[in-house]
Structure formats: C-alpha cells, structure tokens
Amino acid sequence: MNDNAPVTVLGLGAMGTALAGAFLDAGHPVTVWNRTAGRAADLVARGATEAATAAEAVSASPLVVVCLLNDDTVREVLDGAVGSLAGRTVVNLTNGTPRQAREAADRAAGHGVGYVDGGIMAVPPMIGTPGSLVLYSGSPEGFHAHERTLGALGRAMYLGEDAGLAALYDIALLSAMYGMFGGFFHALALTGSEKVPATEFAPLVAPWLTAMMAAFPGMAEAVDSGDHSAAASNLAMQATAYVNLLDASTDQGVSTELVEPMRALLDQGVAAGLGAGDVSSLVDLLRTAPA
C-alpha cells in the first residue's frame, strides 16, 4: 500500500479522532463514521469524508480501523456493516481481552475479512509521535499489507498470527501501569495525612521507581529460568518490613486496601519456603492455572 492508501476509521471518541487525524497528517484519504453525529466536524475541515453509516464508511477503504468503547460495541457496529466487509482488513484498536480478540478473528474469517487486533500504548495526544507504540497481532497478510499506513499512528510492533497476543500484551502493560498508579496514590495519601503537599512529594517518586526498575531485567531472567536464588533483598526480609507499611498506613488514617494483597502474597511466599530468595518468585504464586 502506498502513502495515499485510503483508510476508514470507525469511532470518533478521543482516540478515534486522534487516529483519524494522524492518518490525515500522513496524507491518507480518510473516511470516518461515528454513532453520534457532529464529532467529525474538525476532521472534515481537515479533509476527511464523513459517512452516514458504518457500512458506507467501510465501503470506502480496504483498511478499516475500529476504535470504539468496548468489544460489545465493536461487534454491534461490525455486524451492522458485515455486508460491506468481505475482502477488507479490519484493524481493531478497541481495548479488549485475548479471548474477545480470538473470537473476533474467528467471526471475521467466517466472513472473508482479514482481522488484526491491536493495543494502543499511548494516550490520544501521543498518537503520531515517536513515543506512541501500537501492538498488533492477527492476520499476517492484513498487517503487512497495511503496515506502512499504520506506521502513521506510531511505532508498529507485530506480535504474530495469534490475534489474542496484542490484547495480552496490552492488558499486561496496563496491569503494570495500574500497579504503579496504585502505589503512587497510596504514597500520596500517606504523605498527605501529614499535610505534605503532593507537589512536594511527587518529584521523589519517579527517580525512586526508575532506580527500582533497574531490577526488572534480572527478575525477568529469574522468572524464565525459575532460579530466584540471587537476592540482594530477600523475600523474608521484605515480608517483615512490609508490615510497617501497613501499620503506618493504619496509624496515619490511610486505607490499606491497595497494599494488603501484596502482604498476603509475601506471607504466602514465606510459607512456601521462598524467603531466602528474590521476590520475583511471587510471579509463580500468582499463576492459578497451568500456562
């Protein structure tokens, strides 16, 4: 596909609007559709064509990028346009689960549609900038035919033919993000209990987390090898110190709901005889079903 390949975008929320804008900036003819009329005005002023129905929008391009609220919404909209979809590639950038992505790929295959699932690791203002990463998996033909066009959105990483992989990576990265947010919010509640302004404390957090993140590669190696014996800060010591985090929170009038689960997991690690090793062994305890 060349730089002028037409693209259709279904869904003009904050993200869909950013995606359509990036395609326009890259010189693509863009057709857009949104359930609620009126959200396309700025894009139309920039050169996009607004379709009256999803089916009409789909008919305009070989590549159909979908960015709607959730999987139910995607199913509803694509079902309504199914007569126009055969022979086209759908790239679904709506957040969802691996199971939903695999089911969508199966449904698409049944209608002769190439299906690529995606996970956007960016917020709308980042789309089209070097900091934007978009994960893809699913139809290799569909992805490679449109890889250059999709490059307008940010760095494109193709994870393989299994349509569920992009959603798996996406959800895993979001899990890491929400864990970080949870820790940050708890820390601000603690310091705030003594009237420390959040703006005064917050600048200490990023350098501390950055220093701790240096341990990630070693922990990942330990998880892959199953050898958690190399521990600069052993699990049993951390389980003991962690009690202070909970006690201090209670003393300061701060809820422990965000930090309790880690205490339970550390205690489980000690009970399982993992105390002398690294905390990376806790990953194994989180697996409740065979991988």
- The answer to whether the beta carbons of residues 11 and 39 sit under 8 Å apart is no
**Which residue's structure tokens are 């990630």?**
216
Tell me which residue of 147, 84, 78 sits closest to 106, measured CA to CA: 78
Binder of ligand FVH out of 1, 6, 13, 265 (CB under 6 A): 13
In the shown chain, the binding pattern of residues 122 to 161 toward ligand FVH, with x for contact by CB under 6 A and - for none, equals: -xx-------------------------------------
Minimum distance of ligand FVH from residue 132's CB (angstroms):
10
- The answer to whether the beta carbons of residues 60 and 48 sit under 8 Å apart is no
Residue 9 or 60 with smaller CB distance to ligand FVH: 9
- Interaction of residue 230 with ligand FVH, rule CB under 6 A: no
- Interaction of residue 67 with ligand FVH, rule CB under 6 A: yes
Give the C-alpha separation, 283 to 115, whole Å: 32
- Interaction of residue 107 with ligand FVH, rule CB under 6 A: no
Q: Nearest-CB residue to ligand FVH?
A: 13
Tell me which residue of 160, 173, 170, 177 sits closest to 94, measured CA to CA: 170
Give the C-alpha separation, 29 to 8, whole Å: 9
- Interaction of residue 63 with ligand FVH, rule CB under 6 A: no
- Interaction of residue 31 with ligand FVH, rule CB under 6 A: no
Residue 115 pairs in a beta bridge with 90
Stretch that binds ligand FVH, among 73-81, 103-111, 141-149, 274-282 (CB under 6 A): 73-81
**Which residue's structure tokens are 């798996």?**
168
Binder of ligand FVH out of 5, 22, 24, 34 (CB under 6 A): 34
- Interaction of residue 92 with ligand FVH, rule CB under 6 A: no
Minimum distance of ligand FVH from residue 77's CB (angstroms):
5
Minimum distance of ligand FVH from residue 276's CB (angstroms):
41
DSSP state of 151: G
- The answer to whether the beta carbons of residues 228 and 281 sit under 8 Å apart is yes
